[in-house]
Structure 1
């Protein structure tokens, strides 16, 4: 199978789209990147003092993304360097009923950069009040 490489205008990495596949919406099927790799732990939607300011999924989701960006910045990385996000959510129904708000929050924090992603529903997270946890991988290009 031939692979069509696409470069998004805001990313230094290649988005991998197999020829003949329907374009993924809101994520990439794969990413090709070279450089220094940044891995985050599973980050959740509390603030720097480990306090939740939001009880709802959307509020926690946006804070989680802000936390990811803060960790990336300590390595000199930016949101467009993200190559993979793995989301763990506790309530699929709440997620699906808030897709527009989640998408808007994503674009506010990350922009229009959609790396490879997976969303998984889990029975619970280590912090009982947490509704979402996200692991991120970014690659800072050489140069």
Structure 2
């Protein structure tokens, strides 16, 4: 299977970037209500792609942006928590690789989201100590442009 940056289209990254640029901190329910539900896909894809870029650029700021995009996307679309956690394994591992505390980074982003299910999920997942890529169906692959993630199946 292709690595994430080759597999996941970035054609709507500009949509996600525009949403993040105008998102208040903390994000309020009125802002969420102003978003078209179709932006959830753009935010989700951007969040996954940005996790790889954060790893390549060794940037905690990009990691947080990845988590915020993912969190906002999940606030707009009610996905199964198990599916969400599969995706959250990537930024969790990236935080570790960057020498940052996953619990701290996930909690900081959760603080920027409206209180509720998604913020709670981020806090709980970030605090876990049992996360490995393989357990969540991922592997790190080396590409000509640097490390990336690829699904195992």
TM range (shorter): 0.3 to 0.5
Which structure exhibits the higher relative contact order, with contacts defined as CA atoms closer than 8 Å and separated by 6 or more residues?
1
Structure 1-normalised TM-score?
0.35
Greater share of residues in helix: 2
Greater share of residues in strand: 1
